[in-house]
Amino acid sequence: MLRDQSVQHIIDTCANLYLNGEDNIPADVADTFTLLIEKLKTCRSNSVKRSKERSIEEASQLLKKVQQQQLRVLQIKYILPLVRLLIAMQLEMPHISTACRKLDQMMQQLSEVNRSLVFEEMEACVMTLVDTEQILSVKDLQIVCMLLEDSTVGREVWRQAYPSLLCKVAEVFPVAMEQEATRNREWCYLAVKACLQMFQLLQGEVAPLVWEKDSGDLAVQNILRHLMPSSSERAPTGTPAS
C-alpha cells in the first residue's frame, strides 16, 4: 500500500526503471524522466520551503517537455511509479500548499493520458485514511485538507467517499474537545478546517445533508453540534488560515 512505502523507496524504483528502460521507453523520454526524478530528490533533501517549491517547479517544466503522444504510448509500468511518487510527495508535505498544487498539475498531465490509473492510485491512498478504526491524527487531517484544497484528483476521490470522510472527521471532535485542560487546539482547528472545506468544495454532496430537514445524517449532526464551540476557539499560533 502506497502510504506504507517510503518515498525514498519509490524514488529509487523510478530512478532504476528509467535508467534501465532499454528499448521499451524512448531515450529522450527516459532522460527527461531521470532528470525529473533528480529534481524531486533535490526537493526532498532541501529543508527550505522556497527551494523545495523551486525544485518541484523545475520538475514540472521537465514533464511538460514530454509530449502527450509520447506519454500515451508508454507502458503502464513507466507511468505508475511516477504517479505513486507524486502522490507520496503530496502526502509527505501537506503543509506546503504551493508545492502540492504543482505536484497536482503534474498528476493532471498524467491523468490526461490515463485518468483511471491516477484516480485509482489516489483512491487507494485516500481510503487508508477512512478505512480504519483509528481516529484521524493531526497529520491525517493535514492530508485531508490538502487533498480537498490542493489536489484535483484527491478532491474527486473525496467527492465519492464523502460519507466516510464525514464520519471520520465527526469522530475527532468529542475526543479532541473532551477536556478543556488537555484540548488539542491544532487538532480542533484542523477538524474545523476540514469541515468548512467539505461544506465549500463538496457543496453538492454535503449541503443537502446540512439543510434538508429529514436527512438524518448522524455524522453531520455531530459535526454541527461541535462546530460552533470549536470555531469560536482561536486558531493555534503559527497555523495558517488556509
What DSSP string runs through 42-78?
A: HHHH---HHHHHHHHHHHHHHHHTS-HHHHHTS-HHH
- Among the candidates 100, 121, 142, a domain finishes at 121
Q: pLDDT at position 234, please?
A: 43
The burial of 214, by beta-carbon neighbours within 10 Å (0-12 exposed, 13-18 middle, 19 or more buried), is given as exposed
User: What mean pLDDT is predicted for residues 8-32?
Assistant: 89
Tell whether 47 and 159 lie within a shared domain.
no
pLDDT band at 60 (very low <50, low <70, confident <90, very high): very high
Phi, psi of 96 (to 5 degrees): -105, 90
- Among the candidates 121, 141, 165, a domain finishes at 121
Tell whether 87 and 143 lie within a shared domain.
no
Q: What does pTM read for this prediction?
A: 0.86
Asked if residue 185 lies in contact with residue 229, where contact means CB atoms within 8 angstroms, the answer is no
In this structure, is residue 59 part of a structural domain? yes
Total structural domains in the chain? 2
Residues 105-139: tens digit of each pLDDT: 999 999 999 999 999 999 999 999 999 999 999 99
User: What mean pLDDT is predicted for residues 139-155?
Assistant: 96
In this structure, is residue 127 part of a structural domain? no
Boundaries of domain holding 110: 1-121
Whether 10 has a pLDDT exceeding 50, the answer reads yes
Q: pLDDT at position 14, please?
A: 94
| Pairwise pLDDT comparison (153 vs 214), residue with the higher score | 153
Tell whether 109 and 151 lie within a shared domain.
no
Closest CA relative to residue 101, chosen from 148, 162, 51: 148
Provide the strand spans (E) within 82-234.
none
Asked if residue 202 lies in contact with residue 159, where contact means CB atoms within 8 angstroms, the answer is yes
In this structure, is residue 53 part of a structural domain? yes
Q: How many whole angstroms from its chain centre is CA 182?
A: 29
In this structure, is residue 179 part of a structural domain? yes
From 6-10, 73-77, 141-145, 222-226, the region with the lowest mean pLDDT: 222-226
Q: pLDDT at position 1, please?
A: 42
In this structure, is residue 146 part of a structural domain? yes
Rounded Cα distance between 6 and 35, Å, is 20
pLDDT band at 215 (very low <50, low <70, confident <90, very high): low
State the DSSP code for 202: T
Helix (H) or strand (E) holding 3: none
Rounded to the nearest integer, the mean pLDDT of the chain is 87
Residues 163-199: tens digit of each pLDDT: 999 999 999 988 887 755 556 788 988 999 999 999 9
Length of the chain: 242
Closest CA relative to residue 201, chosen from 135, 157, 137, 136: 157
- Among the candidates 121, 154, 182, a domain finishes at 121
Tell whether 74 and 2 lie within a shared domain.
yes
Tell whether 4 and 108 lie within a shared domain.
yes
Rounded Cα distance between 115 and 97, Å, is 23
